[in-house]
Every structure is written in structure tokens, then in C-alpha cells.
Structure 1
Amino acid sequence: MSNTAKADLLGPLLKSVSRSFYLTLRVLPARMRDPVGLAYLLARAADTIADTSLIEPARRLALLLALRAAVGGDRSEGTRAAIGRVADEVAGRQALADEKRLLESLSAALALIDELDASDRAAVRDIVTTLTTGMEFDLRTFPAEDSGRIAALRDASELDRYTYLVAGCVGEFWTKMTCAHVPGTIDEPHGAVIARGVRFGKALQLTNILRDCAKDLRIGRCYLPLPLLERHGLTPASLLAADASARARPVLVELLATALDHYRAAADYTFAIPRLSIRLRLACLWPILIGLETLRLLANNDAWLDPTKISKIGRNDVYRLVAGSTAVVCFDSVLRRWIERLIGEVEAGLGAAAAAAVA
């Protein structure tokens, strides 16, 4: 592939479909950018295939599995034909031009895998395989978006596994990329660092699940475990009622507390990075700060299950966090106070929420 085509895929196209992640990507050490950026592009393409509701779920699953096979190195005629059909069947159904262009560029993105060195190629294949396993879980577990039915996760262990498949594994991949491309950065036992990285990813995904719960319910997906709902006299369908936000407040309290525990592990992960490894620190700090700000909004949102009142921080707030953290990235005590203050604000909201639930 020409350098120009590669630069377009990992530059303008990646930027157009990655939103805030592109900020994180650009601040990474240069050697990490290509494998991490390519993994993101492939995962984003897979996610777009899995989420295109105009195509029936079984067909989406077939195309998703074909993409996974192609990422894994399958160059059979059937797999190549299926990848070609992604552009025909899925790209044309995208409302956003950037998503359409991503799917039309899928063959070129797949070709980039072969240009990576052996270890990066294996890592990219592994992370995309795991992420698409999470997407496969969605398509096999939940009903079609227009079915009028809702399915919930079976238990807390299924939620924990799901958060690993769609995000915890990213923390694992990130750590492997760091150790491979910036060796000696983290002077701690490899297993402990990997475990924190996994929890880092789980923190971010649990935040997304809680933030997007109202919208997901309306397409038949309840990621809140059924036993947790039943313990509080709730069903997935009851979460659509006008008073659901108040009735389900104890569920929110419990899951936010779990998320905060994961964020504490994420903070430990970040502070294990040397202060002068500024790029890696910032790449970790930004999602932590954005995530905790989102949890703070959730903890204080009395209508968290109203799809018109989603707890999402604004673009200007993201820029404020980016600028503020960049200014103090080398000062551990300042960063710790900042993170602890945000955690304290979330916990204060949880306390108020718990009191309201008892009342």
C-alpha cells in the first residue's frame, strides 16, 4: 500500500470516525500509533456492521464473522467475497458519510495488517477477535431492535465477562503495546499491570453502559443483570416506565460503586507510568477524567433512564479536562487530588441517591 493511502486511513479517516479517541491516539508515542490506530479502525468497522439495524441480525452476524476471519488471516474466496459485500450491503445504509467511507475502505485496512511486524500483527488480530466476540454476543443475546422485546444479562458474571470482551481486553492490548514499544516504562510485575489494564477498560465500558442504558433499553438491550433488577422488584420492561429512574436508583448506586472501584485501579495503572512519560500518562488520564465526570453526572441525574436526559459531558468540558491535565501531568499530588475529588463527588451523589431511594 502506498504511504499516501496508509496516511489517509490512519489520519483523516481515523480522525473522522474516532471522535475523542483520536486525541488519545495522537498523544501516544509514535511507535504505538499505527497498530493501535489500525486496531481501532477495524474494531470500529466491525461495530458499525454489528449495529446497522436496517440489516437483519443473522446477516450482520455472518458479515461480522467474515470480518473476524479476514482479520485472522483467512484469504479464502468466500471470505474475500463477504468483505466485498460489506461495501455493497452495509456501507450504503450508513447515514454518516464517514462511516460509509470506513466500510468502503475495509479491504485497504485489512491489507495494513500484513505490513505490521509479527508481534504487532498478532496483537491486532487478537484484540479485534476478542472485541468482535463481544459484538457477536450482542447479536446472539438480544432481539432485533424493532422486535418490541427486551432481553437482560443473566447475572453479574455475564456483565463482567461482557465488559472484558468489549473494553477490558483493550486495556490488556494497550499494556502489551506499551511494553513492546516503550519497554521499561512500567516497572511492576507484568501480570499486575495487565490486571489493572483490564479493570481500566471495564471502568470505561461500565460507564458507557450506565450512560446509554435508556437508549439501549429502547432497542431491546438491557445490560443490567436480571438478578440485580429482581432484587429491587424490577423487570427489564419496567425500566421503560415514567418512574423508572427513581425506582431503579439502587441499581444505579450499586453499579456506579463497582465502576468507581475499577477507576481506582485505572488510577493506579496511570500512576505506575513514570511522570516524564508524558504522552502515555495523558493517554490514560483523559479517559479517566472524562469517565469520572460522566459518573458524576449520572450520580446526580434524577432522570438517568430518560433517553432525552443522557448524562454526557460536553465538548468544551472535554477540552477543559485535556488542557488542565496537560498542565499538571507531571505532578502526582495534584493529579491524585483531582481524581480523588471527582471520585468523592460521585460518592456524594451516590449517598444522596441512596438516601432518596430509602425515602
Structure 2
Amino acid sequence: MVDSSAGLLTELLKQVSRSFYKTLRVLPGAVRPQISLAYLLARTTDTIADTQIVPPAERLQALRALRERILANPSAASLDFSALAQHQNSPAEWSLLQRAEESVALIEQFPAEDRQRIRDVLAIIASGQELDLSRFADATLERIAALNTDEELDDYTYRVAGCVGEFWTKMCRAHLIRDALLDEDWLTAKGVRFGKGLQLVNILRDLPRDLRHGRCYLPGDRLWAIGLAPSDL
């Protein structure tokens, strides 16, 4: 990696990942760059999705453009998120958006199998954020929208976190425990379940903030079964 690009996975990553950077720093060297880059690009999609001042339709367009670049679609245009960057209060997030094209380019420096793993997990994460923006496009504090069923909750937790557990598991399996005699399906399922579990904790932790934005990730049918509506929370 050239020095300027390598800085994306050190200084910029440190600025945008907060406490998680401490975890990334102690990962084995065989998987640290791949997981760090996937995290950096996931933070880029998060930043786009969370720029509340920008209309949902524009954020959706930006997310789709980034996803197409990540997937190396030949027809995808180079990324220019300078307009979105102007709405960021954090200098680190401003830089994250301004340097999105550089971040995507780093994918090419990994072997083909790692490139595919990175692209797969980011495509799933972006699909979850796109679904969120569509699902809650008209949601407000006065008009709270909720997921409907346990199945929708399970799908959501997989897209934004379960797939990350799956990615970590597959990456570590490939580079750290390739020759270990393990049940591949069992191992991957545990990774998915772990990621989903962490996201369920996040949902409970973030419930007040999400409700203020008109979003409720607790399934409506669960609430209605006990005589509650999302607005009662």
C-alpha cells in the first residue's frame, strides 16, 4: 500500500472507530487489514445512512452508488461524496466520505477470496441500510414505524450484524485455523448468532434515540399482543 492509502487503515480508522480500534489493533496480522478495511467501508455506509439532514432518497442513491463501486460493477461511476461530506460535524467523518474512493480501491490489494468476502459482507450491510431508509422514510416522532414480525427483526439483525459475525468467522477460518478439523456450518452459524445477539443489545440500548427518529425495531406484533403500540414506549 502507498503511504497515503495505508493511512486510511491507521489514522482515519482510529478516528472513526473509537473504542473498536483497540480491538482491531490486536487482531492477528493475517486478518487485520481485511477486517479493518471492511469496518472502514461499513463506517462509510453508516455515515451516509445517518446523515439525517439529507433526504432519504439522496442517501439511498449514495448508498447504492457506494455498493456498486464496492462490488466492482464496471458501469459504476467514481465516487464523489463531497456534498454529503459538507453536512458532517465530525472532521473524521468528513474525511471518511471525501476519501471513499480511496477506501474502495484498497479492496483490490487483497487476494481474490478475501476481496469476495469483503464485498459480500459490505453488500449485505448496505442492503440492510437501504431497506432501513426505505422502511422508515416517512417516520417521525409523531408517526413511529415499527418492524412487524420476528422474521423481519431476524432479517434486520442478520443484515447489519449477523453477516459481520459470519465474515469474521470465514476470514479467521481461512487465515488462522485453515487446517483445524471443525464443522464449518456449525462454526459459521455461531458467528452469525453472535453478531445478531450483539445487535439485539444495540436495539435495546438505542431504543430511546430510535423512537425519537420514528423508528422502532421491536416487532409490532409482539407489542400489540400485550396491548401496546410503538408510541407507548
Same fold (TM over 0.5): yes
SS of the counterpart of 1:93? coil
Residue in structure 2 matched with residue 100 of structure 1 by the alignment = 94
Using CA pairs under 8 Å that are at least 6 residues apart, name the structure with larger relative contact order, 1 or 2: 2
| Aligned residues with identical type, % of pairs | 49
Residues 203-258 of structure 1: CA distance to partner in whole angstroms, max 9, x if unpaired? Answer: 1100000000011001010000001101111101111xxxxxxxxxxxxxxxxxxx
**Residue 231 (structure 1) aligns with:** 225
Distance 1:147 1:192 in 2: 41
2:144–2:211 CA contact under 8 A, matched in 1: yes
Contact 2:141 2:212 in 1 (8 A): no
Deviation digits for residues 261-284 of structure 1, max 9, x if unmatched?
Answer: xxxxxxxxxxxxxxxxxxxxxxxx
2-side partners of 1:98 and 1:217: how far apart? 27
Q: Which moved more, 1:121-130 or 1:177-186?
A: 177-186
Separation (CA, whole Å) in 1 of partners of 2:103 and 2:51: 20
Cα deviation for residue 146 of structure 1 reads 5.1
Structure 1 counterpart of 2:33? 34
The alignment status of 1:110 with 2:104, answered yes or no, reads yes
Q: Alignment RMSD, CA only? A: 1.4
Q: 5+ unaligned residues in a row in structure 1: which ranges? A: 240-359
Structure-to-structure mapping, 1:270-349, within 5 angstroms? none
- 2:67 maps to 68
Matched residue of 1:170: which SS? Answer: helix
Native 8 Å contact 1:152 1:236 kept in 2 = yes
Aligned counterparts of 1:145 and 1:235: Cα–Cα separation in 2: 15
Match for residue 115 of structure 2? 121
Alignment of 1:1-359 (within 5 A): 2=2, 4-76=3-75, 79-80=77-78, 83-84=79-80, 86-87=81-82, 89-144=83-138, 148-184=142-178, 187-239=181-233
1:131 touches 1:165 (CA, 8 Å); kept in 2? Answer: yes
* Deviations, residues 52-89 of structure 1 (Å, cap 9, x unaligned): 0111001100110010000000243x622xx21x12x2
Give 1:311's aligned residue.
none
Structure 1 length-normalised TM: 0.63
Hey, what's the Cα distance between the residues in 2 that align with 1:146 and 1:220? 4
Q: CA deviation at 1:147?
A: 7.0
Name the CA distance, whole Å, in 1 between partners of 2:139 and 2:46: 15
Aligned in 2, Cα 1:186/1:52: closer, same or farther, shift over 3 Å? farther
Q: Deviations over 1:302-354 (max 9, x none)?
A: xxxxxxxxxxxxxxxxxxxxxxxxxxxxxxxxxxxxxxxxxxxxxxxxxxxxx
Whose radius of gyration is greater, 1 or 2?
Answer: 1
Aligned residues: 233
Matched residue of 1:201: which SS?
A: helix
Measured after TM superposition, the shift of residue 31 of structure 1 is 1.1
CA contact (8 A) 1:48 1:99 kept: yes
Where 2:182 maps in the other structure, the secondary structure is coil
**What TM-score do you get using the length of structure 2 for normalisation?**
0.96
Which runs of 5 or more residues in structure 2 are unaligned?
A: none
1:144 Cα deviation from its structure 2 partner:
4.2
